[in-house]
Amino acid sequence: MTTTAAYCPALFLTAPASNQGKTTITAALARYFTHQGKVVRVFKTGPDYLDPQILAQASQQPVEQLDIWMAGDDYCQDKLFQAAQVADLILVEGAMGMFDGEPSSADLAARFGIPMAIVMDVKGMAQTAAALATGLANFRDDVKVAGIIANCCGSERHAQLIRDALPKDLPLLATLKRDEEVSLPERHLGLVQAEEVKDELEIRFEAAVEWLKSTHDNGLLTLPAPVAFYPATLSVESTLPVESTDDLRTRLTGKTIAVARDAAFSFIYDANVIALKNMGAKVVFFSPLNDTILPDADALWLPGGYPELHAKALSDNASMRESIRAFHQTGKAILAECGGMLYSLDDLTDLNDACYPMVGILSGQGAMRGKRGCQGMQTAVLPQGEIRGHAHHRSRSANTPEPIGYGRRQRHPAPGEAIYQHKGLTASYLHLFFPSNLEVTAKLFLADTLSREITHSSSSLS
């Protein structure tokens, strides 16, 4: 394997906390440099489905997740190396605050030598913004901070107060006025899916380009210095050594996997689809909202999404529900994650307390519960092995069967999300990241293997 570095300008957008404007500014920069004829590759830190949809439309390039815990150090390294070979600019959007989480955005930036720009909503403060930024920039010696971006800055006088209070080695890269025309639409789990507001986003992206052009720019709109990215020492296809992956490349050869994808089911990592294809599977998409029957397939994946927003339409499509029930009766493999699990239950109560029949291949009822929810990184502990993922939901399930096990939380001893397996069905609130363990992924989509291991697990528990 070559050890030659690929060099590409790169910038990591971080913040002292959530809701500072990172996604808006990352999307604006991506579209700005795209207009300059540059190829911009954007990555999102952590397990996020919604921001990448927005950023992919803004950059007109695929957007993937980078997370050292969930994906592995070598996986992240190779993704950056591959991007650096084709891009003129790499942007990485952080998650939460700069040092939040294990690993944090700062950990990721430090590991790969990417300079960070701190996005701060400076409304209601001036010199204090400089004090906070200085503290963040000097909190760790291994993190390089290129400067700060003052978002929602009221005036040039406001900007000058911040600028004068900053140390000379921490520049104010840009000051951006508050502008509702560039704000991104949101709902209860975060940003609205890009596909639902595609035309509106285009208007906002173009407004954001003008927003950036009108800024007091001190380097933000200039390509940053190149960063050296190196190939990984292990296979990018899994966390296993290179010599262990040859068999994995053919594990799903000849298998067709049907994947639900529409407005109700869209929480799909591109990396997961790529992983299935890399193991030889043919991936076909279908819509539980609009199609009447399943396509011909050997396995079925019902990913997460917003079934609660489309519960009536999903329920009214009785033909599709019957088609999935018939598929389940054959014993073929089905993976149902979060929203897909809610769809698999007997019924679902939406945000308006209306209850609708669902597929009924997993006993129980699902219901939305307002603003309360569950989120966090977890390892799914399965009879097939362990695979990493995360939970993020504002619903609850009740009267479900006895689970075969629970997720193992990253940093807390309490049991994580319940995991159910019956016949070929695996269901949980967990969203799995397939590249974290391709061996387990393959087993979940191979019905005969899955059935044997479910039977063995049941016998062991009895």
Residue 4 pLDDT grade (very low, low, confident, very high; cuts 50, 70, 90): confident
Residue positions annotated with a catalytic role: 338
Residue 242 pLDDT grade (very low, low, confident, very high; cuts 50, 70, 90): very low
- Residue 40 phi/psi, 5-degree rounding, is -110, 120
pLDDT computed for residue 110 by the predictor: 97
For the chain, helix, strand, coil in percent to 5 are 35, 25, 40
Residue 111 has pLDDT above 80, yes or no: yes
Pairing mode, strands 304-305 and 265-267: antiparallel
The first and second tokens of residue 320, run together, are 């599709």
* DSSP 8-state symbol, 247: T
| Chain segment 360-395, per-residue pLDDT in tens | 999 999 998 766 556 788 999 999 999 999 998 788
One-letter amino acid of 83 = A
| Chain segment 268-306, per-residue pLDDT in tens | 999 999 999 999 999 999 999 999 999 999 999 999 999
Helix (H, G, I), strand (E, B) or coil at 371: coil
| Chain segment 403-417, per-residue pLDDT in tens | 999 999 988 888 899
- Non-local (6+) Cβ contacts of 12 within 8 A are 91, 92, 94, 105, 108, 109, 114, 115, 116, 117
pTM recorded for the entire structure: 0.86
Helix (H, G, I), strand (E, B) or coil at 71: helix
Residue 462 pLDDT grade (very low, low, confident, very high; cuts 50, 70, 90): very low
CATH topology for 7-229 is Rossmann fold (3.40.50)
DSSP string, 183-229: PPPEETTEEPPGGGGHHHHHHHHHHHHHHHHTS--SSTTSPPPEEEE
Query: From CA 160, how far away is CA 163, in angstroms rounded?
Result: 5
Is the bond into 115 cis (omega within 30 degrees of 0)? Answer: no
Residue 251 pLDDT grade (very low, low, confident, very high; cuts 50, 70, 90): very high
Which residues does residue 302 pair with via DSSP β-bridges, in sequence order?
Answer: 336
| Chain segment 16-48, per-residue pLDDT in tens | 999 899 999 999 999 999 999 999 999 999 888
Name the superfamily (CATH) of residues 247-461: Class I glutamine amidotransferase (GATase) domain (3.40.50.880)
Same fold, 7-229 and 247-461: yes
Look at 53 and 89; give whichever has higher pLDDT. Answer: 89
One-letter amino acid of 104 = S
Residue 27 has, within 13 A of its CA and on its CB side, a CA count of 26
One-letter amino acid of 310 = H
| Chain segment 162-213, per-residue pLDDT in tens | 999 999 999 999 988 876 656 665 544 455 555 666 778 888 888 888 888 8
Residue 309 pLDDT grade (very low, low, confident, very high; cuts 50, 70, 90): very high
CA 254 from chain centre, in angstroms, equals 28
Exposure pattern of 239-276 as b/e (b: 16+ CB <10 Å)? beeeeebeebeebbeebebbbbbbbbbbbbbebbbbbb
- Non-local (6+) Cβ contacts of 129 within 8 A are 120, 122, 148, 150, 162, 165
Contact (Cβ atoms closer than 8 angstroms) between residue 14 and residue 237: no
DSSP string, 72-97: -HHHHHHHHHHHHTT-SEEEEE--SS
Where are the domains positioned within the chain? Answer: 7-229, 247-461
Contact (Cβ atoms closer than 8 angstroms) between residue 82 and residue 64: no
